[in-house]
Amino acid sequence: MKKMVINSEYESLRSFVEELPVSFDNRGEIIYSGRNVVRDIPVQNIHINVKRFKVPNFINQLVYGNFRKSKARRSFEYANILIQNGIGTPDPIAYIEQKSGILFRDSYYVSVHEQFDGLMREFKWGQLAGRENLLDQFARFTASMHDKEIMHIDYSPGNILYKEDAGNYTFYLVDLNRMYFGPVSMEKGCENLRRLWGNEEMLTYIATKYAQYRQFDADECVALVLKYHREFWDAFTKKHKDRTPYIG
C-alpha cells in the first residue's frame, strides 16, 4: 500500500513522484549514501532531491505503520511550518510512504535541490577574524527561530546552509524529521548549539550575540553554550576517535 502527498504548487510533478519507488535506483545522481540515500534528479528543468529513508527495524515498522508519523511525512510537514514562519528550507514537493499490511516499509521525501554558498561545517577550520558578520547573522537567525518557538533538534553544521548576497546571509535548514515546537528557554536554546563546529572563541562570539538578540545575560549564556558543547563533544569523541569539532 502506498500513500503519497504532493504540494499543490508542484502538481505537474505528480507522475514523476508516483513512479519514484520503482525508478529511484535508476534516476539522477547519488549525492549521499549512508543509512539513507539522497539522489539529485533533474526533472522539467529543475533539480530535485529525493531522500529514501532506510526500512526501519521490525519494532519501528509496527510503530511507523500504525502509531507514529514517518520521517518522510515529518520532513514534509515541518518544511511547510518553517516556510510559513519565514525560516529557510528547500521547497517541499512531496512525500511517499509504503506499507505491507500493518508493517511500514520505506519512505521518500522530495524537495527542490538548492545551490548554496556555504554551510556551517566550514567552521571546523579557520579563525573567527573576518567571519564576524556571518556568525552575527547566524546568531540572529537562531535567536529569531527560537523566539518563534521552533528548534531543530539536530542543529548540526551539516544541516545548516546559507546563501550570501552582498554581505547579507540567508540560512536554510535541512534534515528536518526531528524538530521541536514550543517555548525555548535560555538553557534549552544554549544547549541547542552544542553540536556546532568551531573553536571556543567562535562559540563565545555566537553565544554572546545570541544572548544579545534574545535579551539574555551574556555571561550566563556563554557559560551554558561552552558547558553543553564540551559535554557533547567529550562524549562524542570517546566513541569516534577520529572526529573533532575544530581543527586549528
Q: What is the domain-level CATH number for residue 209?
A: 1.10.510
Within this chain, do residues 92 and 7 fall inside the same structural domain, yes or no? yes
Q: State the pLDDT at residue 111.
A: 98
Within this chain, do residues 57 and 133 fall inside the same structural domain, yes or no? no
| Contact present, 161 and 125 (Cβ < 8 Å) | no
Within this chain, do residues 132 and 194 fall inside the same structural domain, yes or no? yes
Total structural domains within the chain: 2
Which of the listed residues 63, 89, 112 is the one where a domain comes to its end? 112
| Contact present, 140 and 213 (Cβ < 8 Å) | yes
Is residue 173 in a domain? yes
Within this chain, do residues 167 and 136 fall inside the same structural domain, yes or no? yes
Within this chain, do residues 101 and 136 fall inside the same structural domain, yes or no? no
Is residue 156 in a domain? yes
Is residue 12 in a domain? yes
Within this chain, do residues 98 and 124 fall inside the same structural domain, yes or no? no
| Contact present, 98 and 5 (Cβ < 8 Å) | no
Task: Tally the C-alpha atoms within 13 A of residue 79's C-alpha that lie toward its C-beta.
Answer: 24
Within this chain, do residues 149 and 88 fall inside the same structural domain, yes or no? no
Is residue 201 in a domain? yes
Which of the listed residues 112, 129, 146 is the one where a domain comes to its end? 112
Sheet holding 160-165, edge to edge: 118-119, 160-165, 168-173
Within this chain, do residues 10 and 105 fall inside the same structural domain, yes or no? yes
Q: Which domain holds residue 228?
A: 118-239
Within this chain, do residues 123 and 188 fall inside the same structural domain, yes or no? yes
Which of the listed residues 80, 112, 144 is the one where a domain comes to its end? 112
Please tell me the distance from the alpha carbon of residue 176 to that of residue 105, in angstroms, as a whole number.
Answer: 20
Is residue 77 in a domain? yes
Give this prediction's pTM: 0.93
Within this chain, do residues 89 and 14 fall inside the same structural domain, yes or no? yes
Query: Please, what is the average pLDDT of the chain?
Result: 93
Q: State the pLDDT at residue 60.
A: 67
Residues in the chain where the model's pLDDT stays below 50: none
Is residue 244 in a domain? no
Displacement of CA 121 from its chain's centroid (Å): 13
Within this chain, do residues 235 and 122 fall inside the same structural domain, yes or no? yes
Within this chain, do residues 57 and 87 fall inside the same structural domain, yes or no? yes
Is residue 246 in a domain? no
